[in-house]
Amino acid sequence: MEHRADPASLAHRIGHGGVASVVDTFYTRIQHHPTLAAPFGIVEDWPHHKEKLTHFWWVVLGGDPYLEVDYSVPMKHFHAGFTEPLLVDWLELFGQVQEELLPADQAEDWHHLASGMGMNLARMNAGIAERMAGRRA
């Protein structure tokens, strides 16, 4: 399948194969990670998860969508037990894999973007937790 991306985008620089290999290695390692393996134990279909997350990052990085998928990012993370310490571990492992598999400039730019998204996710997660607590009070 041909994967098209805006020529000015990070997706274009990294290429679909690069995105897919980072996602593949990252989620293979996550399954044996000391703190991340447990929350990721809820994933039942790893090939599907990797395919979905490759598409997610490809589109976030500026590539054209090629799958019909719905994401439910804040609620899924709330239910998966997302915490800020887990986010620190997640970003560290993601950075290691990016540095191993990509040229330094691509690894750095993608990691920078992921860090910002992680902070947003942490804020959304705290907001959901607050609203849930309010509902129980």
Residue 137 CB, shortest distance to ligand HEM, in Å, is: 26
Residue 63 β-bridge partners: 5
Angstrom CA distances, 18 to 44, 61, 80, stand at 24, 12, 27
42 vs 132, which CB is nearer to ligand HEM? 42
Q: Which of 32, 42, 60, 37 is nearest to 118 (CA)?
A: 60
Does residue 43 belong to the site contacting ligand HEM (CB under 6 A)? Answer: yes
Tell me if 35 sits within 8 A of 89, measured CB to CB: yes
Token pair for residue 76? 């899924």
Residues 77-116 that bind ligand HEM (CB under 6 A): 77, 80-82, 86-87, 90, 114
Q: Is the dihedral of CA 90, 111, 69, 126 positive or negative?
A: positive
Q: Is 131 in the site for ligand HEM (CB under 6 A)?
A: no
Joined together, the tokens standing for residue 115 give 């860090």
Stretch that binds ligand HEM, among 2-10, 11-19, 75-83, 125-133 (CB under 6 A): 75-83
Instruction: Tell me which of 2, 8, 34, 72 binds ligand HEM, using CB under 6 A.
Output: 72
Of the pair 5, 54, the CB lying nearest ligand HEM is at 54
Chain centroid to CA 33:
16
User: By C-beta, is 84 or 105 nearer to ligand HEM?
Assistant: 84
Residues in the site for ligand HEM, rule: CB under 6 A? 39-40, 42-43, 52-53, 56, 71-73, 76-77, 80-82, 86-87, 90, 114, 117-118, 121
